[in-house]
Amino acid sequence: TKQYLDLPVAPADIAFGLMTDFEADPHPKKVSMIAGAYRDENGDPWILPSVKEAKERLGEATHEYLGIAGSPTFTNLAKELIFGPIASSLQENAASIQAVSGTGANHLAATFLARYLRPKRVFIPSPTWINHKSIWEMAGVAVVEYPYYSHDTRELNVTGMLDALEHADPNDVVILQACAHNPTGVDLSKPQWTEVSNLVQRKKLFVVFDSAYQGFATGDVDGDAWVVRHFTETVLASGTHPGLCVAQSFSKNFGLYGERVGALHLVVPRHLSAQGALSELMLISRAEYSNPPQFGASIVETVLGDRGLRAQWKADLHTMSSRIQRMRGMLRQRLEKETLLDWSYIEKQIGMFSYTGLTAHQVDRLRREFHVYLLPSGRMSMCGLNEGNIDYVVCAIGEVVQ
């Protein structure tokens, strides 16, 4: 058995490793399209005006502890945001707990479900956010990848996805990203979601929705939550279903990345109560970090709890999502002119990322020869693009695809 003295040094996290390389790169034209963090038209981090105003209103906030489950005002507002009109019928049927952002919510879900649902396997999309696999492996559940994206068609592989989930057993867990799929930017249509929902009901699978981009994807907070609400209604109505949960992040839609704001909501069928589950979630939270961070949650609750600030926040979401959409259009148009190839999929994809289809070798050349940084998978964070660097990036891509 291994002990700490003979542990090999683990490879660095790909994205965080590249970010360090980027920081150290002295080239004046370097461009980072690595991180999933919004940048404004000058390439700078952006504090949302709604968040700025909330901070002013909060003034000299204290630094007291929150309770183990976090701020009840925050978790209620978070619940209303994701579940919309059905939130009011979830009194008994949902357990909501503040979490250490989306990562912490995913981790709480994995730890709790590994203990009490005891799935044989968890099904994650191929590809998906890199941390899903690590989080579930750490919880000791066997991870299986289901086909999600077809590199040939650059579209969803819905047949592959449904076929793979057909092989799941009752109480197995399926991870679904609610909108703006990371890293592909390809989402299911409503009819496709309905097919998945029917399968999940029939096979009694437990869905964990990962919702990291509500409102950020399209600017429409309700539209981006449609699938969560649709599945929740079917779970509530079911007599036999094990339930579902939603890991909710406020990193992107409030630009509060480093503040670690999130929540986990567990929903059970209408004839059951989720209050026992909440007490177990609190035991896990208490043992792991005692109570969640206070500052970011107080910003979110100030914004969501005030009609005027909420309207400003929706305008801020529109500012971010429409800038990204504009960049998609410009990138597609200029790449098509430069390379005479079809780049229409860049404009069809949604959210923060674009799956460019560039190979690992081409991505490597972009970094070495042009100081343009993407993930080796070809994932590009659209936020890194702006009118000041897009022509340089287009020229660089043009060179490596020749």
Positions touching ligand PMP (CB under 6 A) are 36, 101-103, 129, 177, 182, 210, 212, 249, 251, 257, 262
Residue 241 or residue 252: which is nearer to ligand PMP going by CB?
252
CB of 352 to ligand PMP, least distance (A): 8
- Residue 184 in contact with residue 349, Cβ under 8 Å? yes
The secondary element (H helix, E strand) that includes residue 385 is none
Q: How crowded is the C-beta side of 330, counted as CA atoms within 13 Å?
A: 17
Give the active site residue among 46, 129, 313, 343: 129
- Quick one: tokens of 92? 């008994």
Residue 262 or residue 384: which is nearer to ligand PMP going by CB?
262
- Three-state SS for 146-204 is EECEECCCCEECHHHHHHHHHCCCCCCEEEEECCCCCCCCCCCCHHHHHHHHHHHHHHC
Give the active site residue among 46, 136, 172, 252: 252
What is the rounded CA–CA span in Å between residue 140 and residue 214?
29
CB of 252 to ligand PMP, least distance (A): 7
CB of 117 to ligand PMP, least distance (A): 20
Residue 31 or residue 108: which is nearer to ligand PMP going by CB?
108
Dihedral (Cα; 379, 181, 194, 169), 10-degree rounding: 90
Residue 170 or residue 258: which is nearer to ligand PMP going by CB?
258
Cα 389 from chain centre = 26
CB of 374 to ligand PMP, least distance (A): 15
Q: State the chain's maximal CA–CA distance in angstroms.
A: 62
Rg (CA), the chain: 21
Catalytic (active site) residue 40: no
- Quick one: tokens of 233? 């209604």
CB of 20 to ligand PMP, least distance (A): 17
Catalytic (active site) residue 210: yes
- Residue 185 in contact with residue 148, Cβ under 8 Å? no
- Residue 180 in contact with residue 379, Cβ under 8 Å? no
Neighbour-count burial of 176, counting CB atoms closer than 10 A to its CB (0-12 exposed, 13-18 middle, 19+ buried): buried
Residue 13 or residue 387: which is nearer to ligand PMP going by CB?
13
CB of 191 to ligand PMP, least distance (A): 23
Residue 210 or residue 301: which is nearer to ligand PMP going by CB?
210
Residue 36 or residue 378: which is nearer to ligand PMP going by CB?
36
CB of 132 to ligand PMP, least distance (A): 8
Region class of 187: left (phi > 0), else alpha (psi between -120 and 50), else beta = beta
Give the active site residue among 172, 210, 224, 316: 210
The CA-atom distances, in angstroms, between 343 and each of 59, 135, 331, 356 are: 48, 34, 9, 8
In the complex, residue closest to ligand PMP by CB: 102
Catalytic residues: 129, 210, 252
